[in-house]
Homo-oligomer: A and B are copies of this chain.
Amino acid sequence: MPSIYYLYSMEALFNSLAYFVPIGEAEKEIISNLFTEKQFKKGELFLQEGKVCRHAGFILKGLMRYYLTRDGEEKTFYFSRENEFICNYESFVPQIPSLKSIEALEDSTVCMISYDNLNLLYSTMANGERLGRLILEQVFVEALQNLNSFYVDTPEERYEKLLKAHPDLQQRIPQYYIASSVGVKPQSLSRIRKRLSMY
């Protein structure tokens, strides 16, 4: 039987899904049955490079980082945090080994759903397919905008966008991860921050 804390936490997931389709009692029951809550300690991996991404998640609390390792160097792509979805779709959708890792940057609580259970949700919940389509559209567009920004924006512009989208992240993420996600070395990020603080 789910604890009161558990039900309370799930509310955040219900609210996020209700942005896309109506979530009534019947839908809440299906969702509660198909998702399970999992804790990640700071530094623990949600997904390891080389393994198949078998779960999608919704972060109730915490912060995670997407990265890949190339020639021994880590390249940070993206951050996800509370009230956001977490999944490496390139691995999850075709169920093939992941090129990226996802790591908890803080102690995190995540509502997890397995690949099979997500497909069950799509097919059994009212508007399940519509929900899947609308969420995919959102994460797809966000992912493409982020990746494109590596081409079209300067590191300074990327840094400004990150701060604007997530003003609190500057305090929560170590500067070398921010630098990597912006596409510069930590020293260059310091210079960018100094320049920006002059305005």
Contact = CB atoms under 8 A, between A and B. Distances in A.
Nearest to A143: B144
How many copies of the polypeptide does the oligomer hold? 2
Contacts of A171: none
Interface string A118-132: 000010000101101
A90 interface: yes
A38 interface: no
A68 B136 contact: no
Which range holds the interface residue count of chain A? 20 to 34
Contacts of A143: 140, 144
Contacts of A72: none
A109 to B, nearest CB: 27
Interface in A63-97: 68, 70, 75, 89-90, 93-94
Contact of A141 (B75, B89, B100, B141): B89
13 contacts: A75-B151, A90-B141, A90-B144, A90-B148, A93-B140, A122-B133, A129-B130, A133-B133, A140-B140, A140-B143, A143-B144, A147-B147, A147-B148
Interface of A: 68, 70, 75, 89-90, 93-94, 99-100, 122, 127, 129-130, 132-133, 136-138, 140-141, 143-145, 147-148, 150-152
When A and B form their complex, which 3 residue pairs have the shortest distance between CB atoms, in order from nearest?
A: A129-B129, A133-B133, A129-B130
